[in-house]
């Protein structure tokens, strides 16, 4: 088999090569820490305790699979590798990457969008680490912990994520409100009819995406997204061009006859 050096590989091939390596390394490191802690402190959980813990996080396994399917086309492979290793994808990485892509007037699922999402995800990861370090220092050295545990602070924190995604939603909804309203109406109706559905909202993302694509396709076929108008304009232009060509031809024939 022909041996090809890494520098001759494409950007996409290098992304997957190093992404897989560091993903495996990260998983191993995550698994090693509890094992080392158990050895050092001689504290091992029972099988029943492990089973209960696994059952408690099963829903996050489904959410992780859904996030991988939903976010990869938006952010690109490189950003997804980095985002899943560093974590906090839905709350921080995705809004940050989409905001940067939008600010640069780029598009997702393109080379430019992939690079912008990668840089923004990396910067947000570094900023997150720095903020955590500063937060730990402040909690240890100041009465900040008492302030953050007050009911008023907890209530304010509950609105941070909705406010962040709401601001992003305004940008995307304003681009094409006709496509944006059907999924919004669907999700509002589901949340009103089934209040407990909020706990599995991440799992519903691909289903709502499929619903939105289907509705958009129907609206496009019906001409509600401007298809008929654009086609009519194109036909009118072509008809005018043909009419002009016919008129010029008639004039040319008349001139020949006169000669």
SS3 158: coil
pLDDT above 90 covers a percentage of the chain that reads: 10
* pTM across the whole model: 0.58
Residue 107 structural domain: 45-175
Tens of pLDDT, residue by residue over 95-137, are 888 889 988 888 888 888 889 999 999 999 999 889 889 988 8
Rounded Cα gap, residues 156 and 145, in angstroms: 15
Cβ distance 12 to 77 under 8 Å?
Answer: yes
Task: Summarize the chain as % helix, strand, coil (round to 5).
Answer: 85, 0, 15
pLDDT value for 121: 92
| Stronger pLDDT, 249 or 141, i.e. the higher one | 141
pLDDT, position 130? 92
**Is 145 inside any structural domain?**
yes
Residue 235: what pLDDT?
A: 42
In a domain, 186, yes or no: no
* Residues listed for the chain: 259
Looking at residue 8, what is its pLDDT? 52
* Residue 21 in domain: no
Does a structural domain hold residue 199? no
Mean pLDDT for the chain overall: 78
**Bigger pLDDT: 134 vs 175:** 134
40 versus 7: the higher-pLDDT residue is 40
Q: Count the domains in the chain.
A: 1
Cα 17 to Cα 209: distance, rounded to the nearest angstrom:
30
User: pLDDT band at 240, cuts 50/70/90?
Assistant: very low
**pLDDT surpasses 60 at 259:** no
């Amino acid at each position: 088999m022909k041996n090809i050096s890494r520098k001759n590989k494409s950007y996409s091939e290098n992304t997957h090569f190093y992404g897989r390596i560091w993903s495996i390394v990260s998983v191993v490191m995550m698994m090693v820490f509890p094992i080392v802690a158990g050895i050092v402190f001689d504290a091992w959980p029972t099988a029943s305790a492990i089973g209960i813990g696994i059952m408690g996080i099963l829903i996050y396994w489904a959410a992780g699979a859904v996030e991988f399917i939903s976010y990869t086309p938006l952010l690109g492979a490189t950003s997804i590798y980095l985002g899943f290793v560093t974590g906090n994808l839905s709350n921080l990485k995705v809004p940050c990457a989409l905001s940067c892509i939008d600010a640069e007037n780029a598009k997702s699922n393109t080379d430019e969008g992939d690079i912008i999402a990668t840089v923004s995800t990396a910067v947000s990861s570094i900023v997150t680490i720095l903020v955590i370090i500063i937060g730990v220092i402040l909690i240890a050295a100041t009465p900040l912990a008492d302030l953050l545990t007050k009911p008023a602070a907890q209530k304010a924190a509950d609105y941070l994520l909705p406010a962040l995604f709401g601001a992003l939603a305004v940008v995307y909804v304003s681009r094409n409100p006709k496509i944006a309203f059907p999924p919004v109406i669907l999700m509002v109706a589901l949340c009103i009819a089934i209040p407990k559905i909020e706990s599995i909202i991440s799992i519903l993302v691909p289903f709502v995406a499929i619903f939105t694509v289907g509705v958009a396709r129907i609206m496009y076929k019906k001409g509600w997204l401007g298809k008929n108008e654009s086609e009519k304009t194109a036909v009118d232009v072509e008809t005018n061009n043909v009419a002009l060509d016919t008129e010029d031809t008639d004039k040319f024939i008349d001139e020949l006859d006169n000669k």
